[in-house]
Structure 1
């Protein structure tokens, strides 16, 4: 509580929300009286300032005194106006003059002789110095975002749509508004922590979102800049250490502003479709640093998603004589979807920089964002006091209307009516998505699995029912528990298999939970998974491919999980089961495919064994098994919100140590083995401009294997059939589900690289398809099956993917062909 009070006081001081302060306000215009939108306005020799709104209007909260107010915007001459604040509010309208950059050349560009190239060589030579000007800082960041609909198809603009979106008769209006205020703390090279003090948004989801300070950390001195959500690959900074490989530079003019000589440098990408920016840099002569930047990406040249153009404008200010940091940054974008045209912007204002801040030991503990519990409930008066950018009249009306609508939608009568509507049963929705009923007052929910997952077919049980329901109860302190009873029955095998899964999450911030499972079930012999009941039903009935092999188990287990420290997760469980071999009892199929026949339920039976085979795989037995694992996520990062904690991808590989023990002669247990494995994996590793890579390496061994049965072997995530699931890096394309299962030492390795369009982007007729190129390899070696390998190439667009690959056993070709993924697992 004490820390939040200090943050609140810090906010009040930063924005001058006190009774002794007064408002300096006005309008910034150009030579012809036009508004100069988003002009940076700040106090000279300080890090306190603001930005004008779209209409050029600004305001600053100031104490009585004398100030030099700086007005800056790209393309206009910087203006400094002395102001005296007495005991009242002051109005100051400012007219900016267009910046006139004198030229020395004739207008004909010569890349060898142009001074722009020499200037940028100086900038790159001083790049490391500018990156190391500070070790740490803290500041306050205010971010505002607005998205507008500017044109809509008349055929779709009915009165109901116009009313719902609050549009005018021409189909124009504000779709989305957001504001946030954060304290941002950074320590080089890569540690940061953001505390969101206040947050507000209205409207639907925008085209893309930058409503956190960490989202707007554009450092031009870094080599590659990634625009999250708009492109899966990065763009080369015009100040990167290898920038001359991608850019040519042209000096288009020079000016003198407040005793500084500023050079305007035009960016000329060497290739039209290279991952580069267009626009201009403004460079301080002698100091050779970035003064401001005006950059642009386009859908045509840069193949960005969701929007057509993105303009990035950044203003740097001197925090100290030798330290310059962003004073403001702005993203402007335009786009269209199905005839709907929209525009929007995000603007960030940085205030109260504290350079080389000393942070307490352990302050950067992996928590990269903490949202205060009251951040989303600040009243309008709070925002009126701290908001540095004035609202336009349209934005004020939009807030007023949507705040009133929000209050209505969150009233008890309205919420109750919505709950009744959502809890109504819809047969079509139940068939595809299932049925869920919630009680918002008691925080209880009841979910029934969809019909298509309830009815199944396999050759062991015939047509069957797998009916699942789930009851969940949540508490105000984020604790929760759930109970999932399942009724499983096969009409041909006549096996009744009721079972229950229950879980209690007692410490969600530390992933602390207890879980238990008990009952009877028909289980897959491969415990890492093969095909779901749904996919096995389709492959069996349509193609007579009964890939999945089953056994019977009566079981009970109890487990525990919790983080021992940030990034160290421990899981342990103890289970007992009575296991029995099963055989095929049903041979139904839809089509008469004489070329195919069902196979035995014994996965190790030789090829050609009839489907009604009853060969021996394992005897009926009991097993008491202890499992434990330690997962190490180095430098684990996470976001803490009032509703829980979200874990972010780590910059380093994840390590998982597994141990499994078959305990003999306890409760009649017949098993006796010890198994250890080690996993090292990393998903989505950026590789410069060439996309990203993923890998997983697993090694393991049974150092005691006196007594174990087929389901105790180490199994692998193989694949049979045309469809596959590429969402997990540890899977194979062609490996049979059971034949390679091991009771000995093994090593498996997987590597995949997604070029993210880096190759196809160079081919004109392929660019518009926005396909991503994929290459990969999988490898497995174990005692009975040494040196199995797969090589594949693929293309991907959104959730659709097609791969072609070939596999080898030793030096002999094994299987080759296409594999398809279309979003359903």
Structure 2
């Protein structure tokens, strides 16, 4: 029976492997330069993905005809039609540099850069874009990778003991089903999680659902904010064509340097005044963020993001780090707001003064309802009228509903089976192949996690170093097993500097005990001590924490006190 079962499993596996099909290849420049994280959009599936860090891609599909669009910042978009049968199709893409054409610009008083006309229209329509979609559902694959580049020399041994090495890659992957309902409800359900080391200790990244159509993004002022002209200067870089659309590239320059302002580039779809792509950077407290997004017309006149690429780096308290967050959106199903499913032209009053004056006379002393009739007829509308219309539309909707106004409504759930999938499952579902560094990172951390698990389980076969002397433990730290599932962790000394305390030294002592019941409840007692040399003061806190309940409904009781 065992041999029969094994043969059946191997047979099914062979059939599965033999029947795998799709499209794979590389994306390079004309000079042969690899283009990592290039965006790939499959039109028939409403699916976005990217190349990996080695510029490789692999898309698993059912047999059929597909249209793929390849995009990379600074290069022309390429569209390819591919027929997939019963095996993988090799498709190696050579990207050409983007050819920008300067529009014929009328010379005007003050020689205003044409970027300002484009941005005024995009800003005027930004609120419209937030109301354009009633609802959408999609599936999102997310991958976060982190790397420690440098650390204080006196903490090297402590980090090694914790399994952290400079240059080592840490990875977390997750797949989520998301649902958005206008105006501000987001539901996210995580259906699969995998992280380097112990999966059950890995928390999935939540999908980034902030929008650059909003006035602020993560406390940064959006280039499409109504206040944008107070914070930014804009420079027109040229226009290029993509599948019949005119795309204008605008350079975003902060008027003053500092936190919470973006710099870089944003591309706008002419006539629709929606985002085509963006490549923006911002800093917060010395940490640098680089954000790249590509949008696609997933429905007629509806451009939504299909890839998000975030790079984070910085140095804090002597720790230099780099992190990368990648999200690809697939299987879009969109319900367009029927009230706003119209085409119209936005008029810039500062450039087209005569037409704007004529339009103002048409709607002077008229009700908002009549302005809306003009809008839905497909005629021109000024920026001022558009803002007035959308504002009145939101107000009317709010008055008609019996529900109270909610600023934001977000839910985030993790499926109970999310941690159960093995590496074979991920190899099948993962839309972006792992790079060599990521494969090595998984292997290294997984093997370390296995060793640590054996130690926690009391493996008597492991090689133990002699612990007759612990003279350096208060400096470098140590980990002590007191009893079954009962541990004491002494952290080594660490220090930092600020202008109030001067230099300081701190240490921590943590007692943990896991109770062997159905839900693995656990108790933690944490004592943290800190001495500041400039103030010659000692500070200390003590915290008791007890966690209990089912994994998806964990509860915590905490009690702490002290001065810190």
Q: What range describes the TM-score normalised by the shorter chain of this pair?
A: 0.5 to 0.7
Matched, 1:197 2:187: no
Kindly tell me: are residues 446 and 375 of structure 1, through their superposed partners in 2, closer, same or farther at Cα, counting changes over 3 Å?
closer
Matched, 1:222 2:232: no
Report the alpha carbon displacement of residue 196 of structure 1 after superposing the two structures with TM: 0.5
Q: How does 1:345-364 map to 2 (within 5 A)?
A: 345-356=324-335
Matched, 1:382 2:425: yes
Give the TM-score, by structure 2 length: 0.66
Instruction: Identify which range, 316-325 or 437-446, moves more after superposition.
Output: 437-446
Report the alpha carbon displacement of residue 49 of structure 1 after superposing the two structures with TM: 2.9
**What is the DSSP-based 3-state SS (H/G/I as helix, E as strand, rest coil) of the residue aligned with 1:373?**
coil
Kindly tell me: are residues 354 and 436 of structure 1, through their superposed partners in 2, closer, same or farther at Cα, counting changes over 3 Å?
same
**What is the DSSP-based 3-state SS (H/G/I as helix, E as strand, rest coil) of the residue aligned with 1:376?**
coil
1:579 match: none
1:143 match: 142
**What is the DSSP-based 3-state SS (H/G/I as helix, E as strand, rest coil) of the residue aligned with 1:255?**
strand
**What is the DSSP-based 3-state SS (H/G/I as helix, E as strand, rest coil) of the residue aligned with 1:126?**
helix
Distance 1:279 1:428 in 2: 42
Report the alpha carbon displacement of residue 368 of structure 1 after superposing the two structures with TM: 0.2
Deviations 1:804-825 (A, max 9, x none): xxxxxxxxxxxxxxxxxx9728
Instruction: Identify which range, 280-289 or 147-156, moves more after superposition.
Output: 147-156
Deviations 1:3-45 (A, max 9, x none): xxxxxxxxxxxxxx99855131111111221111111112135
Kindly tell me: are residues 109 and 163 of structure 1, through their superposed partners in 2, closer, same or farther at Cα, counting changes over 3 Å?
farther
Distance 2:87 2:241 in 1: 35
Q: Indicate conservation of the 8 Å contact 1:180/1:212, yes or no.
A: no
Q: How does 1:490-569 map to 2 (within 5 A)?
A: none
Residue of 341, 344, 349 corresponding to 2:323: 344
Report the alpha carbon displacement of residue 268 of structure 1 after superposing the two structures with TM: 2.2
Q: How does 1:423-822 map to 2 (within 5 A)?
A: 423=486, 436=511, 438-442=513-517, 478=550, 642-644=552-554
Q: Indicate conservation of the 8 Å contact 2:235/2:252, yes or no.
A: yes
Q: Indicate conservation of the 8 Å contact 1:444/1:472, yes or no.
A: yes
**What is the DSSP-based 3-state SS (H/G/I as helix, E as strand, rest coil) of the residue aligned with 1:420?**
strand
Q: Indicate conservation of the 8 Å contact 1:65/1:84, yes or no.
A: yes
Report the alpha carbon displacement of residue 256 of structure 1 after superposing the two structures with TM: 1.6
Q: How does 1:402-441 map to 2 (within 5 A)?
A: 402-411=445-454, 414=457, 419-420=481-482, 423=486, 436=511, 438-441=513-516
Report the alpha carbon displacement of residue 145 of structure 1 after superposing the two structures with TM: 0.8
2:301 match: 322
Distance 2:52 2:94 in 1: 15
Distance 1:19 1:141 in 2: 27
Kindly tell me: are residues 644 and 263 of structure 1, through their superposed partners in 2, closer, same or farther at Cα, counting changes over 3 Å?
same
Q: Indicate conservation of the 8 Å contact 1:165/1:173, yes or no.
A: no
Matched, 1:824 2:563: yes
1:172 match: 167
Report the alpha carbon displacement of residue 141 of structure 1 after superposing the two structures with TM: 0.6
Q: Indicate conservation of the 8 Å contact 1:111/1:249, yes or no.
A: no
Deviations 1:142-165 (A, max 9, x none): 11111123455678656x856864
Q: Indicate conservation of the 8 Å contact 1:133/1:322, yes or no.
A: no
Distance 2:291 2:264 in 1: 9
Deviations 1:432-468 (A, max 9, x none): 989856254355767889899xxxxxxxxxxxxxxx9
Give the TM-score, by structure 1 length: 0.46
Deviations 1:210-257 (A, max 9, x none): 8111xx11311111111xxxxxxx111111123223222110111122
Distance 2:108 2:151 in 1: 43
Kindly tell me: are residues 345 and 436 of structure 1, through their superposed partners in 2, closer, same or farther at Cα, counting changes over 3 Å?
closer
Q: Indicate conservation of the 8 Å contact 2:139/2:331, yes or no.
A: yes
Kindly tell me: are residues 312 and 470 of structure 1, through their superposed partners in 2, closer, same or farther at Cα, counting changes over 3 Å?
closer
Deviations 1:64-104 (A, max 9, x none): 22222110112111001121212211211111112122336
Deviations 1:389-422 (A, max 9, x none): 1001221122123223323433486368975378
Q: Show structure 2 runs of 5+ residues with no match.
A: 1-15, 338-402, 461-479, 493-506, 530-541
**What is the DSSP-based 3-state SS (H/G/I as helix, E as strand, rest coil) of the residue aligned with 2:427?**
helix
2:257 match: 272
Matched, 1:186 2:206: no
Distance 2:173 2:59 in 1: 18
Kindly tell me: are residues 210 and 111 of structure 1, through their superposed partners in 2, closer, same or farther at Cα, counting changes over 3 Å?
farther
1:238 match: 223
Number of matched pairs: 427
Matched, 1:126 2:201: no
Q: Indicate conservation of the 8 Å contact 1:111/1:248, yes or no.
A: no
Q: How does 1:92-103 map to 2 (within 5 A)?
A: 92-103=91-102
Distance 2:544 2:112 in 1: 73
Distance 2:319 2:544 in 1: 41
Distance 2:543 2:162 in 1: 36
Residue of 243, 254, 274 corresponding to 2:239: 254
Residue of 440, 443, 446 corresponding to 1:400: 443
Distance 1:220 1:238 in 2: 8
Distance 1:153 1:451 in 2: 20
**What is the DSSP-based 3-state SS (H/G/I as helix, E as strand, rest coil) of the residue aligned with 1:375?**
coil
Distance 1:102 1:123 in 2: 20
Instruction: Identify which range, 434-443 or 188-197, moves more after superposition.
Output: 434-443
More helix by share: 2
1:650 match: none
Kindly tell me: are residues 397 and 437 of structure 1, through their superposed partners in 2, closer, same or farther at Cα, counting changes over 3 Å?
closer
C-alpha RMSD of the superposition: 4.2
Kindly tell me: are residues 336 and 388 of structure 1, through their superposed partners in 2, closer, same or farther at Cα, counting changes over 3 Å?
same
